[in-house]
Amino acid sequence: MSRFLRHSFLAALLTLSAFSSQASRVVIDQLGRHVTLPDRVDRVVVLQHQTLNLLVQLNATDKIAGILANWKQQLGDGYAQLVPELTQKAMLGDLTHVDTERLVALHPQVVFVTNYAPQEMIDSISALGIPVIAISLRHDDAGEQNKINPGMQDEEQAYNLGLKEGITLIGEVVNRPQQAKALIDAAFAGRKLVSDRLRSLPQQQRVRAYMANPALTTYGSGKYTGLMMAHAGALNVAAASVQGFRQVSMEQVIAWNPQVIFVQDRYPEVVNEIKQDARWQPIDAVKNHRVWLMPDYAKAWGYPMPEAIGLGELWMAKKLYPEKFRDIDMQQQAERWYQRFYRTHYVDDAARSGSR
């Protein structure tokens, strides 16, 4: 037996011994797996960036023993300034693999992975006696739970229920149930504010919008980004013909002729490209200077985050229908959220504020 295998085996025995001496409980993760955990969890390894972000907002950063190596790339460069203590955490693995030798050395009580983590990765961690919790932030149909792009009969229900279930589960695992409930309540209170004010807006008066990503990629139906625009009162011009995330042609964008173009915070170069490239100039959004870079709390990725629902949809609705949200100060709203859930001030990037 190699030295590494002996070390892993002994560490697994120690983990199992310590685990068996504690009171335990059973939770169901978002793959539908029944997982036995210690009653109290104080050391976790996080190999999914959405879960990492949620643990920070649940004020459980002190329980994090290790994180995925590319967390800055996944959450944005500014996240290190937002949560500087993460720079001191051990880094090991990513969404689809993990260094088991380094994992064992951290003595975690739980490892969080994404729902599409390879089964062999989950099995290799479980074989060490370490419980594995899979998080998707979706409520997927049977047979779809371990897919990156699952089929959804009702995407609204899949994301709404799945986000609530995921945050509740994470809060339960790390003994932060009250914080989890507060985060969920804050997110959906923001959405309700938007829906209440847009309820009487006729369909024909809703603004046609397009989400511009690098290399002419965009989001259609089946992704939270499309739902985000819908909740903010926009008509996503790509929804009818694009499923998920896909590249489209310039000719197609011109034919759609969106009145507004949104660009995710992580792609500021796309704003400049659209403004300078002659091909984009005939489009209404460009002619009317309505190409907007989204703030970092409105991350319109494939998964919703609480601040995207609670703040981002509100920001987007205010950009689209300023007269209906004239009394809403987004800087004040963001500051309140960041003080409450990140325990710090919200600082916008002034260098990019002109695009917003």
User: How do residues 164-200 score in pLDDT, each as one tens digit?
Assistant: 999 999 999 999 999 999 999 999 999 999 999 999 9
Q: Give residue 350's pLDDT.
A: 43
| Reduced DSSP (H G I as helix, E B as strand, rest coil) percent helix, strand, coil of the chain, to 5 | 50, 15, 35
- The number of residues in the chain equals 356
d(CA 47, CA 66): 8
Q: What are phi and psi of 258, to 5 degrees?
A: -65, 150
Amino acid identity at 252: Q
- Ranges under pLDDT 50 in the chain: 1, 4-5, 8-9, 20, 350-356
The answer to whether residues 140 and 158 touch, using CB atoms and an 8 Å cutoff, is: yes
- The helix (run of H) or strand (run of E) holding residue 121 is helix 119-126
Span between the terminal Cα atoms of the chain, in Å: 60
The number of beta carbons lying within 10 Å of the beta carbon of residue 17 is 10
- pLDDT the model gives residue 301: 61
User: pTM of the predicted model, to two decimals?
Assistant: 0.88
Location of structure tokens 């047979």: 143
Q: Which pLDDT does position 75 carry in this prediction?
A: 86
Decide if 286 contacts 261 (C-beta within 8 A): yes
Calpha distance 176→142 (Å, rounded): 28
d(CA 295, CA 88): 27
| pLDDT, position 354 | 44
Instruction: Tell the residue number behind the tokens 């403004």, with chain if given.
Output: 275
Q: What is the pLDDT of residue 320?
A: 98
User: What pLDDT sits at residue 265?
Assistant: 86
Task: Name which of 189, 140, 147 is nearest 306 in CA terms.
Answer: 189
Could you tell me how many helices (H) and strands (E) the chain has, helices first? Answer: 15, 13
**Domains of the chain, start order:** 3-175 (3.40.50.1980), 201-355 (3.40.50.1980)
310 contacts 337 by C-beta, under 8 angstroms: yes
Task: For residue 9, give the amino acid letter.
Answer: F
pLDDT in tens, 285-324: 999 999 999 998 887 666 789 999 999 999 999 999 999 9
Residues in Cβ contact with 62 at an 8 Å cutoff, skipping those fewer than 6 apart: none
